[in-house]
Structure 1
């Protein structure tokens, strides 16, 4: 009975051609690939097409005029500078905090079972987190009240009064929510390293600092590169804290590229120019990410 039951399946396997067997896995993933292309590739292609036209409803051919206007636009250059300035400080703080915390706790077994706790800030909606810190800094003046109670200040602080304070609020909001993203990646990378290398270095008398900076960090370079690239791309599109807290104030000191593109598109309105800026930012992001991946993956392999 079992022999007869296996005959149809065996015959079907024999009837399948080698080409059909090779194509079968691709057919299984094709629906997901098509869906991803529709939600990622199509908007990019449409943005390139729209960047060649001006006007809101009645499109008028503009060619590359929108691209020519970008680098003479002082507001765009200001938004680019703010994005790079805020992004570099935010990414540096998140990297240092995440790496220090990961290096301190990755050996403890309870970290493996309680990783979800470290992810809670980044699991919250960005708009909800932004509203919380807006209440803490501005609307509720909770931070100022706490600083007054412990004697650090004698007056309520207007966090939107100076560019430095406004930028501090934006950086704090992003660091609080997204440091766990780097932390959990670094913990996983540290826990996945070869323990025999560390044990051999300890037997040779290497201290903790030498072990960490000369062995652990070089082995972590590819993981660090991917994590920083992912966070850098996200920071490059920073929008929610600017939209809900600062609105680019004071004097455009906190206006980032994401907020500027949105303002040009809807307040102008100039969808063609906004699309051209988006295409330029996309091209810059792809080139920079590719260069960083090649560099750090090569150095990590050689190390």
Structure 2
């Protein structure tokens, strides 16, 4: 029922009481500016601890003679000795030969696979199979290739049964056969890495360019060679630099398969640093070798990437 005292023309209506609004707390401009950096700070600190600190430590250590006793200052003596160390230059040469051949084969195979996987519907459905080798641990791949080609001699036995050879292949006594085995293992495992990058680069290109070329009568091979491939130059350069840096640190394959032999013919720079530091315990000398290799890697990577991006703009 309606209260009669409140009814009528002269009645005063009471407005409902609304709850007070909670004041909105706004972030300061300074906090907004620093907030993204605060989010990535833990990851940056972690990367600095595992990369920057060991690098600075190795640089300082390279100016000392470091074995088991106290550090002794030698200045640039370690670097001067490396200039006349034929084993160091041999390790650099082996790294260059094995790395350049392996990287070239990986690039060609990955481009060919990307060419078919991007256009061929049947290959597109099975392209996940191409990624399987990359899922194995490097040490597991090294043991597998050692078992097939050296210990169990499965490959030699197959060739003997086919009548192609009379006896087991003497891989461990041949420098080039040992290098070829390292190259084969590296190509088998890491070609999928470049394949993923190249397929992503092809899928990220503007489809209108392909359509325009197709309307002009160009076939897909001509479109790939004259349009897609030039547009992929920066991506190819960055991918090759990433793989090249990884190849310079090739250690598991050398350590497990060849041990740097025969006659230091497969000893890479990373294995040379390991042997110098952890077999002969000359840590200062090993640090100097690692610093030189780091400087060479940075210079070569900078030149390749810079030229690739300049040529892409022109």
The CA RMSD over aligned residues, in Å, is 1.7
Instruction: Find the residue that maps to 2:294 and give its secondary structure.
Output: helix
Rg: which structure is higher?
Answer: 2
Aligned pairs for 1:96-111 (under 5 A) are 96-108=108-120
Matched, 1:25 2:36: yes
Q: CA deviation at 1:206?
A: 2.1
- Greater fraction of residues in helix: 1
Aligned pairs for 1:54-73 (under 5 A) are 54-57=65-68, 58-73=70-85
Contact 1:115/1:184 (CA < 8 Å) preserved in 2?
no
Contact 2:117/2:127 (CA < 8 Å) preserved in 1?
no
Matched, 1:7 2:19: no
Pick aligned residue for 2:98 from 63, 86, 90: 86
Distance across 1 between alignment mates of 2:197 and 2:59? 34
Aligned pairs for 1:231-270 (under 5 A) are 231-270=243-282
Change (3 A) 1:163 1:111: same
Q: CA deviation at 1:263?
A: 0.4
Distance across 2 between alignment mates of 1:175 and 1:169? 10
Instruction: Find the residue that maps to 2:171 and give its secondary structure.
Output: coil
Instruction: Find the residue that maps to 1:7 and give its secondary structure.
Output: coil
Q: Deviations over 1:35-66 (max 9, x none)?
A: 11111111100000111111312211111111
- Which residues of structure 2 form unaligned runs of 5+? 1-17
Name whichever of 109-118 and 259-268 sits farther off: 109-118
Distance across 2 between alignment mates of 1:210 and 1:5? 70
Aligned pairs for 1:104-183 (under 5 A) are 104-108=116-120, 116-183=128-195
Change (3 A) 1:184 1:5: farther
Aligned pairs for 1:25-44 (under 5 A) are 25-44=36-55
Q: CA deviation at 1:116?
A: 4.3
- Which residues of structure 1 form unaligned runs of 5+? none
Distance across 1 between alignment mates of 2:293 and 2:42? 29
Instruction: Find the residue that maps to 1:157 and give its secondary structure.
Output: coil
Instruction: Find the residue that maps to 1:148 and give its secondary structure.
Output: helix
Say how many residue pairs are matched: 296
Pick aligned residue for 2:230 from 207, 218, 222: 218
Q: CA deviation at 1:209?
A: 3.1
Distance across 1 between alignment mates of 2:21 and 2:211? 53
Contact 1:118/1:184 (CA < 8 Å) preserved in 2?
no
Q: CA deviation at 1:114?
A: 5.6
Distance across 1 between alignment mates of 2:150 and 2:251? 18
Change (3 A) 1:53 1:199: same
TM-score, structure 1 as length reference: 0.93
